[in-house]
Structure 1
Amino acid sequence: MELHLDLVGGIAGDMFVAAILDLQPDLEAGLMTALSYAPMLEGVSCRTVSHDDGILTGRRFLVERSGPDTTHGHHHHTAWRDIRAALSASSLDADTTRHAIGIFSLLADAEARVHGSAAEAVEFHEVGAWDSIADIVAAAYLIAQLNATRWTSGTIPLGSGRVRTAHGILPVPAPAAALLLEGLPTIDDGIPGERVTPTGAAILRYLCKQGTISPQPRRLVASGFGFGTRKLPGMSNCVRVICFEPVAASVAGSDRVAVLEFEIDDQTGEDLAQGIENLRAHKDVLDVVQMPVFGKKGRMMTGVRVLAKPDAVGQIAALAFDETTTIGIRHAIVDRAILPREIVDAEVEFSPMRVKLVKRPSGQTAKAEASDVGDTANAATRQRRRQEAEAAAKTGMKS
């Protein structure tokens, strides 16, 4: 399974969590249980609600606290080392703990760069508050449960303007978020405000390590929408997560091959036949075929096509110039699809025969080598020998 994040309105921790739960609502019960084991969330409750902004529908992830918020002091200063220790000592499963610490570590490194300090000395402000801890632990649990083979992201809306924080008024994106977004594709869609929070940026940086485009064919199977608290003019403030499954892979492999082509109209058949055999005998030639073609003035000619290893084009061209009368050769390096194959020996009437086994998308096929069938038998006997050899090779009977 591959998952793609389409950042329609931007991304924050709660938007990410809501989008995943809209995609796969069966994970909600397990998430709520996991959050009950999370540290530093005493008195905190979490729930999801359906959301319709008049454009799109999806979910919101709400983190609420009953009573006054005094858990981490008036300004929510929480040391990174304390959060890490609390997560490590919690009853959360190992994968959730690993992902949560991984996301927090990225945030700590970014904050350390912003303030010119060591990561161990970082004290979180907004990120250390109970709602951000809930968002990151929830994201970590969902990441662990989904166990996607690949996460990708679309372009990231940067936003603009200023945002009020515990550090004072900061530019958008916030300095820590900007550091976390380094190297990722961004866009200015003209809508101001904070579009990517530090928590959202850390989740993106943690997940999307492999670029934005999957090179393999994929089948889109589901999508979900997670909404944030802001209202954007003319646009849904949401993250869309799109789930893909890989298309069944072909059994064919691929490589590259050199193709050399030329025509002959002034060489005797006997001499050309010998020249082609000499070409075919070269260690870097994969195959040589010849065919009748019509040239200028309606003259019959012989077309020759040579398949060779790409790094041997010069050698093969020189050999073709020596072995034939051609004075011009076209060549190109092309891709090809090749099926797995092997030659096995099959015992038939006490005489071994070579059989080529080929693995095709619909199953394995077998073909006896014509030169081993024998040229003295009649057609019916030759056909019977071929069938027996091919059946023996398929069932694994070797000489």
Structure 2
Amino acid sequence: MFIHLDLVGGIAGDMFIAAVLDAWPNLTPKVFEAMHQVGLPSEWSVELISATSAGILGKRLIIAGDVDDANFSTGTFRDIRSRLLESCLPEPIIQRAVDIFYRLAEAEGVVHGKLIDAVHFHEIADWDSVCDIVGAAVALEEINCSKWSVSNIPMGSGTVNTAHGLMPVPAPATSKLLEGFIMVDDGIPGERVTPTGAAILSHISASQHSKRDTGRIIVSGHGLGTREITGAPNMLRLIAFEENVVSSTSHDEVGNITFEVDDQTGEDLAVALDILRDFEGVLDVVQYMVSGKKGRLANSVRILCDVKFIDDVIKEVFLQTTTIGLRTTISKRRVLSREDVIIGDVGAKKTLRPDGLTTVKVNMDELKLKTTKHSERSQQRNVLEGGVRDERT
């Protein structure tokens, strides 16, 4: 499984938890229980409610209580770590929560020039953020997903009020946590990524790729923020995918190289194309006769190759043939699932058809070494291939 996060509105700790619980509602009791196990007063309430933002339905996490009755001061990283280590939470959850807090403390320490243990979390709103981080740790441990990706991160704009005065968005510690991530200005103002949200992204090592991985969608969830923003829902979307979906076909992209040759002898061109067939990255080479300019017969050549080798293959084409120009395209390709197998003592290719039928093609280059007669080759081929031709998966 891999999970992609779309930061439509942005990301905060409560939005992340809400998105996870919208996708996996069965985790809600465990997340809420952990928040109380770390010391959340029983008088405080934790709710996951259905709500809408810009017409999109999702979940919103609400933690509420009387601050005067909280009997809790966030304190330093050392204080929070001690509180977590002394709790009755399972060890893996404690480790995750401590790591998220550590990343926050490390960023704050760099920004303010302090040692990590001495960092005071001014910007963490007491129980709200402690519960956000503990809840996120529980959710991450229960999901047990090691592969995460994230969309471009919205920059936001304006200022945010901190214990050190007004700061530009994103806040200094948030910027530190987001180093290496791609950020974009979508024109929507406000704080779009909180320090806790940034620390979670850092903890899960979310990657950013121009080309997403693909797979079958398992589940999705919408986590809503507490404020409304202009022009988009204040939403974090989570989509979980199943990787390596069993299918009779797979898809990728291949490079196409085509050109015509009318001034190279057939003998020399045959040698050139054999060299190209063995060149790294080349998948197939096909030639056929065409009528070229001025009615001259010419050889049209088409080469399929791995996209990442296309420049090297083009260079080799110019070295091996007399052509002085060629055409290239990138094509989408669908191929049947197949594997190399040994049948008897002969290599073969086993292919899974869309209807579940398995077919086998014996390697003729190996078969020809066993006999020089067509009739014997045909007989051996029928025997070898027939043994598995009608298998179904």
TM-score, normalising length from structure 2? Answer: 0.75
Cα distance 1:291–1:373, how it changes in 2: closer, same or farther (>3 A)? farther
Given that 1:357 and 1:366 are in contact with CA atoms closer than 8 Å, whether structure 2 keeps it comes out as yes
1:366 is aligned with what amino acid? Answer: K
CA contact (8 A) 2:9 2:235 kept: yes
Q: State how 1:200-215 maps to structure 2 within 5 Å.
A: 200-215=197-212
Amino acid at match of 2:289: P
User: Are the counterparts in 2 of residues 345 and 393 from structure 1 also a CA contact under 8 Å?
Assistant: no
Say which of 384, 389, 393 aligns to 2:384: 389
Question: What pairs with 1:10-21 in structure 2 (closer than 5 Å)?
Answer: 10-21=10-21
1:268-283 alignment runs, 5 A limit: 272-273=266-267, 276=270, 280=274
Instruction: Return the TM-score normalized by structure 1.
Output: 0.74
Matched, 1:328 2:323: yes
TM-aligned CA distance change 1:358 to 1:177, over 3 Å: same
CA distance in 2 between counterparts of 1:101 and 1:84 reads 6
Q: Which runs of 5+ in 2 are unaligned?
A: none
Q: Distance in 2 between matches of 1:10 and 1:316?
A: 49
Who is 2:261 aligned against?
A: 263
CA contact (8 A) 2:255 2:305 kept: yes
Q: Within 5 A, what are the aligned runs for 1:1-399?
A: 1-38=1-38, 40-43=39-42, 44-53=44-53, 55-65=55-65, 68-69=68-69, 71-72=71-72, 76-127=73-124, 129-233=126-230, 235-246=232-243, 248=245, 263-264=261-262, 267=265, 272-273=266-267, 276=270, 280=274, 284=278, 290-302=287-299, 327-328=322-323, 342=340, 344=342, 346=344, 354-360=346-352, 363-367=358-362, 369=364, 371=368, 374=371, 376=373, 383-391=378-386
Q: Deviations over 1:231-275 (max 9, x none)?
A: 3356533322233334637777989899686535785xxxx4587
Secondary structure at 1:204 match in 2: helix
- One-letter amino acid of the structure 1 residue matched with residue 155 of structure 2: L
- The 8 Å contact of residues 14 and 60 in structure 1, kept in 2 or not, is answered as yes
Contact persistence 2:150–2:206 (CA under 8 A)? no
Bigger CA drift: 116-125 or 329-338?
329-338
Q: Write the distance in 2 (CA, Å) between the matches of 1:17 and 1:194.
A: 18
Tell me: CA distance 1:98–1:300, structure 2 relative to 1, closer, same or farther (3 Å).
same
Distance 1:126 1:300 in 2: 78
SS in 1 for 2:64: strand
Residue-by-residue CA offset, 1:58-112 (whole Å, 9 max, x unaligned)? 222122335734533xxx3511012123323432223322221221111001110
Deviations 1:284-325 (A, max 9, x none): 46877653332344344555678899668777866x56xxxx
Instruction: State the alpha-carbon separation in 1 of the partners of residues 299 and 54 from structure 2.
Output: 70
The more displaced of 41-50 and 78-87 is 41-50
Moved more, 119-128 or 13-22: 119-128
- RMSD over aligned CA atoms reads 4.1
Amino acid at match of 2:204: L
- Matched residue of 2:362: which SS? strand
| 8 Å contact from structure 2 (residues 276, 285) kept in 1 | no
Q: Give the Å deviation of 1:391.
A: 4.1
Alignment partners' CA distance in 2, 1:276 and 1:113: 65
Q: Are the equivalent residues in 2 in contact too, given 1:217–1:247 (CA < 8 A)? A: no
Match of 1:350 in 2: none
SS in 2 for 1:41: coil
Question: How far has the Cα of 1:138 moved from its partner?
Answer: 0.3
Shift of 1:54: 6.3
Larger Cα-atom Rg:
1
Rounded Cα–Cα distance in structure 1 between residues aligned with 2:61 and 2:347: 63
Q: 1:124 Cα deviation (Å)?
A: 1.6
- Once the two structures are superposed, what CA deviation does each residue of 1:334-360 show, in whole Å capped at 9, x if it has no partner? 88988866474747xxxxxx4533445
Partner SS, residue 127 of structure 1: coil
> Which residue identity lines up with residue 276 of structure 1 in the other structure?
A
Partners of 2:215 and 2:131 in 1: how far apart? 33
1:141 Cα deviation from its structure 2 partner: 0.9
Per-residue deviation at 1:159? Answer: 3.3
- Cα distance in structure 2, aligned partners of 1:377 and 1:245: 47
Question: Using the alignment, how far apart are the partners of 2:339 and 2:244 within structure 1?
Answer: 23
Q: Distance in 2 between matches of 1:187 and 1:82?
A: 36
- Cα offset for 1:166? 3.5
